[in-house]
């Protein structure tokens, strides 16, 4: 089996560390793993496949001989360094928002649009975590009944905001006065109806991402999407209440049967036993969990779903590694 030289940019962050874990768990064919981060984090060691790997400082020359680069160090770093990786012949899979809406960059969720990998020009974008889990669940429904409109409210865990967010929650719960603030308000015992900054119209950037990314990934600009994104004091896992309006009539049994067979989806929908998706059940798993499936009686062909997934895994690290796996399959198919 051919093996590949892989680099993780942002290796010491929450997503970077999870990428390393997922590469090992999925037995990705790594010949050599290189770990990169800021000068401040350089010198750290991280274990991969039983061996300690040093974290080096990211530079413009870091990509010589590298086949795949998994970027998770923020949009500014991606914009600065991804072009150097591409110039070196490296495939960049970027977890930031830097390239997601670039028309020349595929935005990929393998269960939904893996075929878009074919037209990459050196960079493939990993979508927003909240978008990924939603489209995995909705794409089979869209293909069967056509979605006209999506109304989504998210309940997003704090790991989506990074290490400082976790430290703020833990510090507040411990009643420490010296905790550094990641959020504009306390997060312990609280709910914040703001993720990212506000833009024109009163929406946040996170909400706009869900709107635009959903249309691009699903390949259908006619779908109407509106979102409200909320931060909740949960360490890991994002939950979403999703209401959709379909073009065609449906039966609930057909919806549940379709989702039971869908790639990447795990149905948890037995209300008689209080079985439904929860972040605590999704922790460190790659599935998108779907439940509370019920008809919306207020509109024609309306449907409600509750969707939960581990945002660090399927919402970030696992999806990026899956893209790399699909890329390898496509390389083999071309031979």
Residue-wise DSSP of 91-108: EEEE-SSSSTT-TTS-B-
Residue-wise DSSP of 274-289: TB---HHHHTT--PEE
Q: What one-character DSSP code corresponds to residue 41?
A: T
Cα gap 242→229, rounded to integer Å:
12
Provide the total of helices (H) and of strands (E) in the chain, helices listed first. 9, 13
Are 262 and 285 within 8 A, CB to CB? no
Are 31 and 4 within 8 A, CB to CB? yes
Centroid of chain to Cα 25: 18
- Shortest CA distance to 201 belongs to which of 227, 239, 231? 227
| Residue 279 burial (C-beta neighbours within 10 Å; 0-12, 13-18, 19+) | buried
Q: Which residue, chain included where needed, has tokens 């150097």?
A: 84
Active-site amino acid positions: 129, 238
Q: Which uninterrupted H or E stretch holds 153?
A: strand 147-156
- Shortest CA distance to 210 belongs to which of 231, 190, 224? 224
Cα gap 232→271, rounded to integer Å:
24
Centroid of chain to Cα 169: 22
């Amino acid at each position: 089996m051919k093996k590949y030289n892989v680099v993780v940019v942002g290796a010491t962050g929450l997503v970077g560390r999870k990428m390393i874990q997922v590469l090992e768990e999925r037995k990705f064919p790594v010949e050599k793993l290189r770990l990169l981060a800021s000068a401040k984090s350089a010198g750290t060691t991280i274990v991969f496949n039983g061996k300690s790997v040093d974290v080096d400082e990211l530079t413009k020359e870091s990509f010589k001989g590298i086949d795949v680069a998994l970027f998770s160090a923020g949009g500014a770093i991606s914009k600065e360094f991804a072009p150097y990786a591409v110039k070196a012949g490296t495939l960049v899979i970027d977890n930031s928002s830097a390239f997601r809406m670039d028309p020349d960059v595929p935005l990929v969720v393998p269960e939904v649009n893996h075929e878009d990998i074919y037209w990459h020009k050196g960079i493939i974008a990993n979508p927003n975590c909240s978008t990924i889990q939603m489209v995995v669940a909705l794409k089979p429904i869209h293909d069967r009944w056509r979605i006209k409109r999506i109304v989504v409210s998210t309940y997003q865990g704090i790991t989506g905001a990074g290490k400082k967010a976790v430290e703020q929650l833990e510090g507040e719960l411990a009643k420490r006065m010296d905790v550094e603030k990641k959020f504009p308000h306390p997060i312990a015992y609280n709910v914040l109806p703001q993720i990212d900054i506000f833009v024109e119209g009163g929406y946040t950037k996170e909400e706009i991402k869900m709107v635009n990314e959903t249309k691009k990934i699903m390949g259908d600009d006619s779908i109407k999407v509106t979102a409200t994104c909320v931060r909740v004091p949960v360490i890991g896992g994002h939950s979403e209440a999703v209401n959709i309006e379909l073009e065609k009539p449906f039966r609930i049994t057909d919806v549940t049967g379709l989702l039971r067979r869908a790639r990447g989806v795990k149905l948890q929908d037995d209300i008689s036993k209080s079985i439904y998706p929860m972040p605590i059940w999704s922790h460190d798993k790659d599935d998108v969990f779907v439940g509370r499936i019920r008809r919306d009686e207020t509109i024609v062909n309306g449907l409600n779903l509750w969707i939960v997934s581990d945002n660090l895994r399927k919402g970030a690290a696992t999806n990026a590694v899956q893209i790399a796996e699909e890329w390898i399959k496509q390389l083999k198919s071309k031979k």
